[in-house]
Structure 1
Amino acid sequence: MKQIIFADDNEPFRLSFSRILERSGYAVMQAEDGREALRKFRESPPDLVICDLIMPEMEGMETIQELTRMKPDIRIIAISGGGRVNPLDYLKVARMMGAVETLAKPFSSEELLASVVRLIGPGDQAAIPSKR
């Protein structure tokens, strides 16, 4: 099963999108900040990292730099609502630092799933519970 690390300090947001990814056949490891994402990455390198850019402890930009240093070909989707700066400016810098795709918050589950499928392919259909 394809593995994803989803790093975002907004717990309800992270939980919601992690569930959507799991229902789509992906294994998701959640991280509340960049440090936790890096720890999980070292323990079990995933196929994809989804990383918020504005987080406490360790910002997303720093996390992306470290991830690409450890594994230059890692696929990363950077996400951001922008904070005090236009989110598109943050996301542009994230691309320069190694993010393969970017999504500005708010985004839909369809947009996220389309990006994930583009980068690592569809989830494991055998893992999706049947709707009876």
Structure 2
Amino acid sequence: MAKILVVDDEPLICEMLEVFLSRAGHDVTAVTDGKQAVKAVESTPVDLVVADIVMPEKDGLETIMELQKKRPELKIIAISGGSRIGNFDFLAMAKKLGACKTFYKPLDNSALLVAINECLEDKLPT
């Protein structure tokens, strides 16, 4: 069982991931923006963060950078439904900033669970 923090400004996504990941045996907490995510990680140790990219207050890229600076060992999976504006691919940038995996919404729950296990086990394909 891992402690997972879900960060998404869409309450339905938070709820869906909380239920799904809890049923998979994980201890899940959800917050709705990057500022709350940073505070949550500072106050409660987590093993992995699933972070949306496009959010108000503090977007996912800023959140990933700050979390990586504070806890470089923290595993992060980036998710986004609006991951490309013009030629800028937010998920590709998230990967460069330290996300171990990235996913477009709508999420494939089975693939997400596999990715979580891979990130937690440090068995990422090269």
* TM score, norm. by length of structure 2: 0.89
Asked if residue 74 in structure 1 is aligned to residue 74 in structure 2, the reply is: yes
Dislocated runs of 4+, deviation >4 Å: none
**Contact 2:6 2:49 (8 Å CA) reproduced:** yes
Report which of the two has the higher share of strand: 2
Report the secondary structure of 2:89's partner residue. Answer: helix
2:53 maps to 53
What CA distance in whole angstroms lies between the structure 1 residues aligned with 2:28 and 2:107? 19
- Cα distance, 1:84 vs structure 2: 5.9
For residues 27-73 of structure 1, give each alpha carbon's deviation from its aligned partner in whole angstroms, at most 9, with x where no partner exists: 01111000011111001120000000000111000000000000112
Task: Extract unaligned runs of 5+ from structure 1.
Answer: 122-132
What CA distance in whole angstroms lies between the structure 1 residues aligned with 2:101 and 2:14? 18
Aligned-residue identity in percent: 37
- Cα distance, 1:95 vs structure 2: 0.6
- Cα distance, 1:105 vs structure 2: 0.9
- Cα distance, 1:120 vs structure 2: 1.8
What CA distance in whole angstroms lies between the structure 2 residues aligned with 1:83 and 1:120? 24
1:101 maps to 101
Report the secondary structure of 1:45's partner residue. Answer: coil
Counting only pairs closer than 5 Å after superposition, residues 11-50 of structure 1 correspond to structure 2 as 11-50=11-50
Higher mean alpha-carbon deviation, 107-116 vs 2-11, is at 107-116
Q: Which amino acid in structure 2 is aligned with residue 18 of structure 1?
A: E
Q: Which amino acid in structure 2 is aligned with residue 81 of structure 1?
A: G
What is the number of equivalent residue pairs in this alignment? 120
Q: Which amino acid in structure 1 is aligned with residue 110 of structure 2?
A: E
* TM score, norm. by length of structure 1: 0.85
What CA distance in whole angstroms lies between the structure 2 residues aligned with 1:6 and 1:107? 13
RMSD between aligned alpha carbons? 1.6
Report the secondary structure of 2:55's partner residue. Answer: coil
Report the secondary structure of 1:16's partner residue. Answer: helix
Task: Extract unaligned runs of 5+ from structure 2.
Answer: 122-126
